[in-house]
Chains A and B, each alone.
Chain A
């Protein structure tokens, strides 16, 4: 029996996402990181492409929302199944897949977490000042510090390297939390699987002296720019020149620093996009700023990225200089930087900038080599973890998986997908998950619904922090005089165990049935207080927390009288709220423990198998005869894999798996319901109708190659597509070819389809190398716009050039011209290097047509889903929920989502399957406590609330003309209550009476 626990190494976004997926699936998760906090590189960034928002919280669970009790992921990660292990390194791994024993070495924090209240007094007295890693050295921190202000756990940590052991902090600490003699610890734990999510490090550009980093003050890295642009950063979001602190008037971003060189012949995949983002954000801050990006290829290949690129040009006026990345010199007087850029035509242009930003690439973390020895896994190219083409998240050792930038450089969106895939592989190995001993057993709830409100009020002084700014005596007297209050008690540190026990005793003694805790921000200790009142048998909704610290003592430290008055109001408001509070139940609905997968291509097959191998029943519907979709037409891959063998293997597994019901030549003609409870109607070729009930739906309807409308396609037999070329190449029909011209971006990245089809460049490279492999003498010329050989594909681009393949770039308004002159096929193209027109008479012209989705809107309509402007399915959030669709319980993978290659499709299908699995594994679906309700007598059925609800949790009961709530989908945001004109839509826990009395208490 496998051990139902997973160790995740690295608590960046990949690790967090993996943890949440596995925790929701029912596994115990150990999430370790060598740093004192979680979040990795991600928390240093404020906003992300391609929407310039933060959306990290989107990976938090939608269902059983109360479990996580958090709203911002920057602040930390709470889930009863996840145990965080900060400051932890891996010492040894023994055992085999399903049964590993891991030895961990835990660096001492020097601060006892259970006693640290995050007051920061230690940091104030610490005499040591060093550069802050979080602020990239642009600000300082002390030797006892918090990594960043939102850090959770918010307990401080000692930087042993710089600590002088002076002991000032020990003296100052009000809770005796600091222990300078703390020693490192060793822990052994059992885990069935291990997932590596160690991410990347930014390339250090110091050795590349031609860019003057750290020599010239006005040369900074992209991550430094991120911090600079962050409102919470070292300059409060102001863009400045480090040399003089002035706002720069011009800025240049240099791409490919540390990438695409001989030493590192790979593309870091994310830099083009983050450079676009940083350019736009900088321009937003300072519209006069002249921004130039110096680049070789603009690799905007992801979903929506090309549009983002166009926005940068059109809406933001960012200048793009395509050239070899120029070296730079500093003007010693002005400290400006002089760039000598060699354009495509060979001409040299001198440009001067006030600030230069180096877009640094991703490199593997230096500790990684050692870790791979400990884990016994094979390191791969360039020091990243080695994976295989058709198993993108498996390492060379069974039971150890990898995702995110640890295996190859990638952006957040692709990382999140892989995190889902890695969670899926681990779940398959360890299924079924163990019966974890429930989070914690509580005494049965006391029924207080019929009782008069008896409120206990607890005031926490936070040492002296609150009591020094607020007159607590006066507050106490005031609270005692309020109606319904049975006791008021003061505590020094309610977050510490003794005081918390005191609180519980008092509630019991006074037979209080409502509790108000006036302490610090509700964020860190909400869970603690909820636990306390559940321990004494009260429903969690009968607790109200007032923030006397962040909202009071820290804001008005010098105005005691006014602060005390405000404190009284805050107390009175909370009292009114809690007095009118009914104990709120959690409701639940049944679950259909099976999935419907629509589409039997590579994505659908992979998703079905991934679910079935976790023990879930699936219906796989394919409209054609036979499975495989596009996979049936692929014979080779860049990396040398055998797609046909893969197809055979998948088909065999699918046919043998008893949990998978196959429906060929069948279509889904109707669908209704919601997460956990869908009903779909299937119709086969003989018009037989079958109705099935499922809990989740995965859309894998795929896409296809579009039909080119130009370059004589369809008119001349000698103009073919890459797919046709591949077929002929395999059949050996091309042996007598001497010259071939390829044209990229046929129907992609134009007015009609402003998106990159992503796979065509790799496909062309694959075929080029195939042709050259068979006949090294063949002349191949590739007309391209930007070669999208991201990640490790770059190497193949280099190989092709080494083998003499000619790459000629064309602009969309000067496309290559293909014509017939008699029976001669002629291609004319402008050569940007030489300037003149090049005339070729090839044997074949090979086109790379755009990838278009198969979906025509029917399915989207049926399920209430949206399509993007380009007709692909619109995911719930482009970065953080890439496989979730806008209706809960419906997921997407493969070409139905966007163009992607086989490796990426497999990962995405596994991720989608995992999302479905973490829904289907629930016995029942539970709602939160604060959910919306309908007063049917008042409901006019105007449906305003339906349009306002972002979660699809409200539907009209057409027969009765009123709206009803699907409680398990409701997230308690209250948009419905706000838009409803007469309070027919209301939120549990925020009744009109409550809110009115709260307002009354406030004014």
Chain B
């Protein structure tokens, strides 16, 4: 058996085929538990669940076009104190995987005993949009896959997804391939590591042919090109919106300092945010002093400082999952701003967050000859 196999889909029932696949992983003991998105309750939403008995795996749906939480946060929560003693298959979208890789480099998660199962991502809706879709249809996932197959591009997908140039997983043990694949006939399962190969061997799957792979590669490049173009357009717009202190202040004026963006960001890993520290507890006299000096001070203070500091800390590792923008109650385009800055910064160090576990964090690496152009300026 090769490294790439086809998971057969009968009668176009993609979810059933995949469901069998997930069950089999647990039943054959290939993993001891699965971290996998499932429909809960009335099916209005799909959320990450941790399941250890096949019979509890009732409605797994990792393809559902919704991302309530970036699961890198969940994996970090589970493995930071101590690595997992038993094997867990974690089913993640590309941006989640990339965030996880960054967290591992930052010692906030451990990959020990984890089987990383990455899935191709056509994008996701916001939680509320998905909720609406779920009310209208019995299977938003099936509808979504059909629409994708028909070549439709839904402009109501989250903007972060529309401009994401990493639709396929990096650093996964197993990849569930959908892009460029006729998913109503079969789904591609690719093993990228010995661990993945072991699992693939234990499953009774049909080998894939080269043609299938070539088609997939072509479709991926097409999608990436499309999204990169979109990304550049969107970020150019963002650039024009924030250029200069005035515009920056205007853009962040609606910020209510709720720090939701920080709470949902997979890479804001601090145990306690600096902005919650006593450093910012100051007496009325100080406030009055500032007001006297500057005439007006914006209250609450330090909202812009908060965003700039957060950017300073994590823009190099930002994977562009867009969770921050989702969490903003006042629709500040935080994700676009972070992507804009992140992209330039990452380009400066030729660093792609989540690309490799070996690549060192630029901030933590000292190179004697680096950024000479900055020095010379």
Residues of A bordering B, CB below 8 Å = 937-944, 947-948, 950, 961, 979, 981-984, 992-993, 996, 1000
Instruction: Report B-chain residues with C-beta under 8 Å of the C-beta of A948.
Output: 363-364
Instruction: Report A-chain residues with C-beta under 8 Å of the C-beta of B360.
Output: 947
Question: Is there an interface contact between A938 and B364, defined as CB atoms closer than 8 Å?
Answer: no
Question: Is there an interface contact between B277 and A942, defined as CB atoms closer than 8 Å?
Answer: no
Question: Is there an interface contact between B269 and A942, defined as CB atoms closer than 8 Å?
Answer: yes
Question: Is there an interface contact between B272 and A937, defined as CB atoms closer than 8 Å?
Answer: yes
Q: How far is the CA of A984 from the CA of B314 in the complex (A)?
A: 16
Instruction: Report B-chain residues with C-beta under 8 Å of the C-beta of A941.
Output: 107-108
Question: Is there an interface contact between B277 and A938, defined as CB atoms closer than 8 Å?
Answer: yes
- Give the interface centre of B108, B270, B290 by most chain A CB atoms within 10 Å: B270
Q: How far is the CA of A993 from the CA of B282 in the complex (A)?
A: 10
Instruction: Report A-chain residues with C-beta under 8 Å of the C-beta of B271.
Output: 937-940, 982, 984
Contact residues, B283-298 vs A (CB, 8 A): 286, 289-290
Question: Is there an interface contact between B272 and A944, defined as CB atoms closer than 8 Å?
Answer: no
Given contact pairs A938-B277, A942-B107, A944-B106, A979 touches B269 in the complex (Cβ within 8 A): no
Question: Is there an interface contact between A979 and B270, defined as CB atoms closer than 8 Å?
Answer: no
Q: How far is the CA of A940 from the CA of B108 in the complex (A)?
A: 8
Q: How far is the CA of A106 from the CA of B273 in the complex (A)?
A: 63
Given contact pairs A942-B107, A996-B279, A982 touches B361 in the complex (Cβ within 8 A): no
Question: Is there an interface contact between A944 and B361, defined as CB atoms closer than 8 Å?
Answer: yes
Name the residue on B nearest A992 (C-beta): B279
Q: How far is the CA of A947 from the CA of B314 in the complex (A)?
A: 17
Question: Is there an interface contact between A981 and B313, defined as CB atoms closer than 8 Å?
Answer: yes
Could you say which interface size class chain B belongs to? Answer: 20 to 34
Question: Is there an interface contact between B363 and A944, defined as CB atoms closer than 8 Å?
Answer: yes
Name the residue on A nearest B82 (C-beta): A961
Instruction: Report B-chain residues with C-beta under 8 Å of the C-beta of A982.
Output: 270-274, 277
Question: Is there an interface contact between B277 and A981, defined as CB atoms closer than 8 Å?
Answer: no
Contact residues, B334-377 vs A (CB, 8 A): 360-361, 363-366
Q: How far is the CA of A341 from the CA of B290 in the complex (A)?
A: 74
Given contact pairs A947-B364, A947-B365, A942 touches B274 in the complex (Cβ within 8 A): no
Question: Is there an interface contact between A993 and B279, defined as CB atoms closer than 8 Å?
Answer: yes
B270, B289, B361, B364: which contacts A940 (Cβ < 8 A)? B270
Output the least CB separation between A349 and chain B (Å): 36
Check if B245 is an interface residue, CB within 8 A of chain A.
no
Interface string of B250-271 (1 = CB under 8 A from A): 0000000000000000000111
Given A982-B274, A996-B279, 15 new contacts (CB under 8 A): A937-B272, A938-B271, A939-B271, A942-B108, A944-B106, A944-B364, A947-B360, A950-B366, A961-B80, A979-B364, A981-B313, A982-B277, A983-B279, A1000-B289, A1000-B290
How many A-B residue contacts, CB cutoff 8 Å? 57
Check if B81 is an interface residue, CB within 8 A of chain A.
yes
Output the least CB separation between B53 and chain A (Å): 31
Instruction: Report A-chain residues with C-beta under 8 Å of the C-beta of B270.
Output: 938, 940, 981-982, 984
Name the residue on A nearest B309 (C-beta): A981
Interface string of B237-258 (1 = CB under 8 A from A): 0000000000000000000000
Output the least CB separation between A280 and chain B (Å): 14
Interface string of B72-115 (1 = CB under 8 A from A): 00000000110000000000000000000000001110000000
Q: How far is the CA of A983 from the CA of B366 in the complex (A)?
A: 21
Interface of A is mostly: loop
Question: Is there an interface contact between A943 and B107, defined as CB atoms closer than 8 Å?
Answer: yes
Q: How far is the CA of A937 from the CA of B274 in the complex (A)?
A: 12
Question: Is there an interface contact between B277 and A992, defined as CB atoms closer than 8 Å?
Answer: yes
Output the least CB separation between B92 and chain A (Å): 21
Instruction: Report B-chain residues with C-beta under 8 Å of the C-beta of A981.
Output: 270, 274, 313-314
In the A-B complex, the 9 residue pairs with the smallest Cβ-Cβ separation, listed nearest first, are: A947-B364, A982-B270, A981-B313, A982-B274, A992-B279, A942-B106, A940-B271, A938-B272, A983-B274
Output the least CB separation between A629 and chain B (Å): 34
Instruction: Report A-chain residues with C-beta under 8 Å of the C-beta of B313.
Output: 981
Question: Is there an interface contact between B363 and A979, defined as CB atoms closer than 8 Å?
Answer: yes
Q: How far is the CA of A625 from the CA of B366 in the complex (A)?
A: 43
Output the least CB separation between A304 and chain B (Å): 13
Q: How far is the CA of A979 from the CA of B80 in the complex (A)?
A: 21
Instruction: Report B-chain residues with C-beta under 8 Å of the C-beta of A947.
Output: 360-361, 364-365
Instruction: Report B-chain residues with C-beta under 8 Å of the C-beta of A944.
Output: 106, 361, 363-364
Contact residues, B8-28 vs A (CB, 8 A): none
Instruction: Report A-chain residues with C-beta under 8 Å of the C-beta of B365.
Output: 947
Q: How far is the CA of A154 from the CA of B19 in the complex (A)?
A: 82
Name the residue on A nearest B275 (C-beta): A982
Instruction: Report B-chain residues with C-beta under 8 Å of the C-beta of A983.
Output: 274, 277, 279
Interface string of B17-56 (1 = CB under 8 A from A): 0000000000000000000000000000000000000000
Instruction: Report A-chain residues with C-beta under 8 Å of the C-beta of B106.
Output: 940, 942-944
Instruction: Report B-chain residues with C-beta under 8 Å of the C-beta of A942.
Output: 106-108, 269
**A/B interface sample: 7 pairs, CB < 8 A:** A937-B272, A938-B272, A947-B361, A979-B364, A981-B274, A1000-B289, A1000-B290
Instruction: Report A-chain residues with C-beta under 8 Å of the C-beta of B277.
Output: 938, 982-983, 992
Output the least CB separation between A573 and chain B (Å): 15
Question: Is there an interface contact between B269 and A940, defined as CB atoms closer than 8 Å?
Answer: yes
Name the residue on A nearest B312 (C-beta): A981
Instruction: Report B-chain residues with C-beta under 8 Å of the C-beta of A984.
Output: 270-271
Instruction: Report B-chain residues with C-beta under 8 Å of the C-beta of A937.
Output: 271-272
Name the residue on B nearest A943 (C-beta): B107
Instruction: Report A-chain residues with C-beta under 8 Å of the C-beta of B289.
Output: 1000
Output the least CB separation between A55 and chain B (Å): 12
Output the least CB separation between A999 and chain B (Å): 11
Output the least CB separation between A785 and chain B (Å): 29
Q: How far is the CA of A1000 from the CA of B365 in the complex (A)?
A: 32
Name the residue on B nearest A997 (C-beta): B286
Q: How far is the CA of A984 from the CA of B270 in the complex (A)?
A: 9
Interface string of B299-312 (1 = CB under 8 A from A): 00000000000000
Q: How far is the CA of A943 from the CA of B106 in the complex (A)?
A: 7
Name the residue on B nearest A995 (C-beta): B279
Instruction: Report A-chain residues with C-beta under 8 Å of the C-beta of B273.
Output: 982
Instruction: Report A-chain residues with C-beta under 8 Å of the C-beta of B361.
Output: 944, 947
Q: How far is the CA of A938 from the CA of B271 in the complex (A)?
A: 6
Name the residue on A nearest B314 (C-beta): A981
Contact residues, B105-149 vs A (CB, 8 A): 106-108
Q: How far is the CA of A948 from the CA of B361 in the complex (A)?
A: 11
Name the residue on A nearest B281 (C-beta): A993
Instruction: Report B-chain residues with C-beta under 8 Å of the C-beta of A938.
Output: 270-272, 277
Q: How far is the CA of A337 from the CA of B360 in the complex (A)?
A: 52
Q: How far is the CA of A424 from the CA of B347 in the complex (A)?
A: 52
Q: How far is the CA of A771 from the CA of B29 in the complex (A)?
A: 77
Q: How far is the CA of A938 from the CA of B270 in the complex (A)?
A: 7
Output the least CB separation between A996 and chain B (Å): 6
Output the least CB separation between B308 and chain A (Å): 13
Name the residue on B nearest A938 (C-beta): B272
Q: How far is the CA of A943 from the CA of B361 in the complex (A)?
A: 11
Output the least CB separation between A377 and chain B (Å): 43
Name the residue on B nearest A950 (C-beta): B366
Q: How far is the CA of A948 from the CA of B365 in the complex (A)?
A: 7
Output the least CB separation between A450 and chain B (Å): 19
Output the least CB separation between B373 and chain A (Å): 15
Q: How far is the CA of A984 from the CA of B277 in the complex (A)?
A: 10
Q: How far is the CA of A1000 from the CA of B108 in the complex (A)?
A: 35
Name the residue on A nearest B286 (C-beta): A1000
Instruction: Report A-chain residues with C-beta under 8 Å of the C-beta of B274.
Output: 981-983
Q: How far is the CA of A947 from the CA of B364 in the complex (A)?
A: 6
Q: How far is the CA of A943 from the CA of B105 in the complex (A)?
A: 9
Instruction: Report A-chain residues with C-beta under 8 Å of the C-beta of B279.
Output: 983, 992-993, 996
Output the least CB separation between A9 and chain B (Å): 37
Q: How far is the CA of A947 from the CA of B367 in the complex (A)?
A: 12
Name the residue on A nearest B270 (C-beta): A982
Question: Is there an interface contact between B81 and A961, defined as CB atoms closer than 8 Å?
Answer: yes
Q: How far is the CA of A993 from the CA of B107 in the complex (A)?
A: 29
Q: How far is the CA of A942 from the CA of B269 in the complex (A)?
A: 9
Instruction: Report A-chain residues with C-beta under 8 Å of the C-beta of B366.
Output: 950
Instruction: Report A-chain residues with C-beta under 8 Å of the C-beta of B108.
Output: 940-942
Output the least CB separation between B101 and chain A (Å): 14
Output the least CB separation between B353 and chain A (Å): 15
